[in-house]
């Protein structure tokens, strides 16, 4: 049978992301394509850079998109900054900390780790001690690690790194747009993100911003591709050539910058989507969007507690946009998740590694950080839990969430 | 002023790609998102693999998408196959051959090159001699290099490589779907492509197919990420770990395969677009689509000759979907291109490196491989050339193209 036109089933995506796309973002994905050097296209690229400066709260000129998923942004940052042999320090408190270690290792770094148990944050003094001991060129850390739903405090880390002469990289994929994040104020050198969490878009584009200090490291490793080099240009690659062409941020900056040197062919539709994500977010207002995530996240937390579920991890440091709960004794977690999807069209998540099958993760992010999405999820979860044999208070979830909302709709 | 809703100007994209998106593909880009482990999502991934097996004319199980532009597919192939120190042979006849060299070098390969002048192909016997001399692990070659509009004959290269015990990688970005390409029949081990040429979609997804022999090389370098590894699994990375995590085809295969091990979050909208590109192509029929590209490419060639323009390069080996012409003496190429865009909304291209400003490149690919697109382009080009001071025969382009079309609409 020939394949049919695409027709995804209706879903409410209340897992750790991807979440439902904002309808305006999805519509933008269908806009007509443009040539990559069309003035209309380069103007859209420049506009998108400006929008993401506001989203990242930065004045960094070097603010742009990497064409790939959020993980592509991480790898572009690390491979462009790390020269093989460099010391890198990773404060690690979840799965995506492991990912930073793995990518840094593959870049040839000598990687050192400060570990916290999953569900906790890494104390600043332990990071400070490690920095003093290791003297890293780069500190790389996840802001909010969806695997544990915990956010690492970053307010003072930038100053600590600057004092030690280290660059600070932060993976803000899961937090940007729904949690406070202040690139310049916090002194973060490089930040990367994705669209599929609080920004309410599809995976496939990775916004990134780089400080002057980070760009200076990349500048020392710049080269121009042979196939587009003018005859009189320097041919020898730099001594510490970046190990990847696709993720060579020097080249990507030359493509987005005034030189407009050809590199990849910009993923036009993803650019449109990324631009619309930022536009929609800034139209609401960054503060308002973060407050909205906080409010609906609090309602969801109260709701799952009202259903008798026990939250996982340090509630003082939870992300606004996702909550993890222990799967009750004797319940097969994946069976409840499957029932939620099959019977109610609602997706919730499990986690990875040591938490796989031990917790559920329920997200309230992007366009899904809203009242009806929270209340429907709690109403359905109550039914699914009861059917799975859990003694669950009738209306316990929705009532607790409604209490958080108070009189306000 | 706040950014407005996306509203790209109307354009007819007759350059080397990206071209206009097929309206069905653009609509598919707006479809609702799905969770990455939703059975509906994994079914779409599996379906997409099947569709691309037909597009590549292969039975390779390992047929999937890399999340990034066509260049991401190239790098994924090379970094996953090349162990630092491996010998790689690149027959090179244009800008994208230079790119293969550069990426292979960055992967740590010892790269050897067989060069042809831009505009020509590399004779098979010269490749055979080089293989005998170099004894490469991998031969990497571009099929159609848009920088010169020339396609390298590949029918016999696979057998040559197999005899020598070398793997054959081909970059078919610019040819797949509009030029004959037979992965299995030609004995090509790894092929990568993009959507933005003959497939009529947006840049941002790279279809790839790998033979068993290629997968065997990757298998020997497989590892599982620490953050998702079960406690009892082997922790030590393989000796020849792939240098990239994002492009680790072993991991990407584990994500697309039955294990469904989490890697990146699949770029859902790009998957939808890639699937629709293949679906639309196969609905027309691969042979019919190739014949259509051949016909409209011939009409465009006749048309530009009818305008008195001199084609560039070896016409015996031209790609079906693009033609390059020398910019007439005394004409500022970019001024004519700018006029075409500003006055007629039609984009044509220039080229790179030694051909920059010396040739125009005019494409007829994807949804733009059609009669009205060819004739409108020729009609407008006649006017733009005349206005630029070129003595151009009135109706010379459209009449010559109409002669190719004959009585047929």
- Residue A276: its pLDDT value, please? 98
In this model, does residue A35 exceed pLDDT 60?
A: yes
Measure in Å the smallest separation between the Cα of A330 and chain B Cα atoms: 21
A-interface mutation test, from B74, B95, B203, B255, most A Cβ less than 10 A away: B203
Task: Evaluate if residue A407 carries a pLDDT over 80.
Answer: no
Helix (H, G, I), strand (E, B) or coil at B282: helix
Cβ contacts of residue A239 below 8 Å, gap of 6+? none
Cα A362 off chain centre by = 16
CB contact under 8 A, A246 and B273: no
pLDDT above 80: residue A143: yes
Residues of A in contact with B40 (CB under 8 A): 8-9, 11
- How are beta strands B359-363 and A346-347 bridged, if at all? unpaired
CA-based nearest residue in chain A for residue B84 = A243
Burial class (CB in 10 A: 0-12, 13-18, 19+), A85: exposed
Q: Which of B55, B133, B147 is nearest to B96 (CA)?
A: B147
pLDDT of residue A354: 87
Query: Which of A67, A106, A353 is facing B204, going by the closest CB pair?
Result: A67
Q: Domains plus CATH for chain B?
A: 22-281 (3.40.640.10), 286-405 (3.90.1150.10)
Task: Tell how far CA A202 is from the center of its chain.
Answer: 12
Give A42→chain B minimum CA distance, Å: 11
Contacts of A225 in chain B (CB under 8 A): 98-99, 102
Mean predicted confidence (pLDDT) in A117-144: 98
Residue B246 is nearest to which of A3, A9, A68, comparing CB atoms? A68
Among A2, A6, A74, A244, most B C-beta atoms within 10 A, so best to mutate, is A6
Burial of A5 (0-12, 13-18, 19+ CB in 10 A): exposed
The string of pLDDT tens digits covering residues A151-174 is 999 999 999 999 999 999 999 999
Residue with tokens 């139209």: A283
CB atoms within 10 A of CB A193: 32
Rounded to an integer, the average pLDDT of A372-401 is 98
Residues A211-250 as b/e (b if ≥16 CB within 10 A, e otherwise) read: beebbebbeebbbbbbbbbeeeeeeebeeebbbbbbbbbb
User: Is the omega angle on the peptide bond into residue A31 within 30 degrees of 0, that is, cis?
Assistant: no
**Is the separation of the CB atoms in A367 and A333 below 8 Å?**
no
pLDDT tens-place string over residues B281-338: 999 999 999 999 999 999 999 999 999 999 999 999 999 999 999 999 999 999 999 9
| ipTM over the 0.95 cut-off | yes
Convert the pLDDT of each residue in A64-75 to its tens digit. Answer: 999 999 999 999
Contact B245 A106 (CB under 8 A): yes
Structure tokens at A263: 């590199």
Which of chain B's residues have a Cβ under 8 Å away from the Cβ of A145? none
**Which residues of chain B fall short of a pLDDT of 50?**
none
What residues of chain B lie within 8 A of the CB of A231, using their CB?
Answer: 354
pLDDT at residue A234 in the model: 57
Query: Contact, B390 vs B29, CB < 8 A?
Result: no
Q: Judge whether residue A232 has pLDDT over 90.
A: no
CB contact under 8 A, B19 and A36: no
B chain contacts of residue A32, beta-carbon cutoff 8 Å: 8, 10-11, 20-21, 26
Contact A3/B47, CB-based, under 8 Å? yes
Whether the Cβ atoms of residue A55 and residue A177 lie closer than 8 Å to each other: yes
SS (H, E, C) chain A: CCCCCCCCCCCEECCCCCCCCCHHHHHHCCCCCCCCCCHHHHHHHHHHHHHHHHHHCCCCCEEEEECCCHHHHHHHHHHHHCCCCCEEEEEECCHHHHHHHHHHHHCCCEEEEEECCCCCCCCHHHHHHHHHHHCCCEEEEECEECCCCEECCCCCHHHHHHHCCCEEEEECCCCECCECCCCCCCCCCEEECCCCCCCCCCCCCEEEEECHHHHHHHHCCCCCCHHHCCCCCCCCCCCCCCCCCCCCHHHHHHHHCCCCCCCCCCCHHHHHHHHHHHHHHHHHCHHHHHHHHHHHHHHHHHHHHHCCCCECCCHHHECCCEEEEECCCCCCHHHHHHHHHHHHCEECECCCHHHCCCEEEEECCHHHCCHHHHHHHHHHHHHHHHHCCCCCCCCHHHHHHHHHHCCCC
Q: Are A32 and B38 an interchain contact pair (Cβ–Cβ within 8 Å)?
A: no
- Shortest distance, CA A9 to any CA of chain B (angstroms): 7
Chain B partners of A367 at a C-beta cutoff of 8 Å? none
Q: Given this model, what pLDDT does residue B231 score?
A: 59
- Output the pLDDT for position B232: 55
Preferred mutation among B4, B8, B286 to probe A, highest tally of A CBs within 10 A: B8
Q: Provide the shortest C-alpha distance from residue A399 to chain B (in Å).
A: 28
pTM for this entry: 0.97
Using CB atoms, pick whichever of B51, B106, B204 lies closest to residue A244.
B106
Query: What is the per-residue pLDDT for B236?
Result: 67
B202, B250, B342, best to mutate vs chain A, most A CBs in 10 Å? B202
Mean pLDDT, chain A, integer: 96
Q: What sign results for the dihedral spanned by CA atoms B197, B200, B202, B205?
A: negative
Query: Is A323 in contact with A382 (CB distance < 8 Å)?
Result: no
Q: What value, to the nearest 5°, has the Cα angle with vertex A137 and ends A317 and A51?
A: 60
Q: Which residues in chain A have their CB less than 8 angstroms from residue B246's CB?
A: 68-69, 71-72, 75, 103, 247
Query: Best residue in A12, A27, A106 to probe B by mutation, most B CBs within 10 Å?
Result: A106
Chain A residues with beta carbon closer than 8 angstroms to that of B203 = 67, 264-268
Across-strand partners of A306?
Answer: none
Contact A38 B11 (CB under 8 A): yes
Tell me the shortest Cα–Cα distance from A53 to chain B, in angstroms: 13
Query: For residue B54, what are the CA distances in angstroms to A5, A230, B57, B172, B185?
Result: 17, 40, 5, 15, 13
What pLDDT digit, counting tens, does each position of A259-293 carry? 999 999 999 999 999 999 999 999 999 999 999 99
């Amino acid at each position: 049978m020939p394949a049919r036109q695409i027709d995804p089933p209706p879903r409410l995506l209340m897992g750790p992301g991807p979440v439902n796309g904002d309808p305006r973002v999805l519509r933008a994905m269908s806009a007509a394509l443009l040539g990559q050097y069309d003035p209309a296209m380069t103007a859209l690229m420049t506009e998108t850079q400006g929008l993401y400066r506001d989203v990242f709260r930065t004045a960094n000129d070097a603010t742009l998109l990497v064409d790939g998923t959020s993980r592509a942004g991480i790898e572009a940052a690390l491979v462009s900054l790390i020269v093989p042999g460099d010391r890198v320090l990773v404060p690690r408190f979840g799965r995506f900390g492991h990912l930073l270690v793995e990518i840094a290792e593959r870049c040839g770094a000598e990687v050192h780790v400060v570990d916290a148990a999953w569900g906790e944050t890494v104390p600043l003094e332990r990071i400070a001690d490690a920095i003093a001991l290791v003297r890293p060129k780069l500190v790389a850390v996840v802001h909010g690690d969806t695997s544990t739903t915990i956010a690492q405090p970053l307010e003072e880390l930038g100053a600590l790194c600057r004092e030690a002469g280290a660059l600070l990289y932060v993976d803000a994929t899961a937090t940007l747009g729904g949690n406070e994040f202040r690139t310049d104020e916090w002194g973060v050198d490089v930040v990367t993100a994705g669209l599929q969490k609080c920004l309410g878009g599809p995976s496939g584009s990775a916004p990134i911003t780089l400080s002057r200090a980070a760009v200076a490291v990349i500048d020392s490793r710049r080269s121009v591709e042979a196939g587009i080099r003018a005859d009189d240009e320097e041919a020898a690659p730099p001594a510490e050539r970046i190990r990847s062409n696709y993720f060579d941020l020097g080249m990507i900056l030359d493509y987005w910058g005034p030189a407009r040197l050809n590199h990849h062919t910009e993923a036009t539709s993803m650019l449109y989507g990324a631009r619309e994500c930022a536009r929609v977010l800034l139209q609401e207002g960054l503060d308002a969007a973060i407050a909205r995530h906080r409010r609906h996240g609090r309602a969801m937390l109260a709701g799952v507690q009202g259903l008798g579920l026990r939250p996982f991890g340090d509630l003082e440091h939870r992300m606004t946009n996702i909550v993890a709960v222990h799967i009750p004794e004797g319940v097969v977690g994946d069976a409840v998740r499957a029932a939620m999807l099959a019977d109610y069209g609602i997706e919730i998540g499990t986690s990875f590694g040591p938490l796989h099958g031990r917790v559920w993760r329920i997200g309230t992010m992007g366009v899904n950080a809203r009242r009806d999405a929270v209340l429907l999820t709690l109403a359905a979860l109550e039914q699914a839990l009861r059917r799975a044999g859990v003694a669950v208070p009738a209306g316990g979830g929705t009532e607790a969430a409604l209490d958080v909302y108070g009189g306000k709709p």
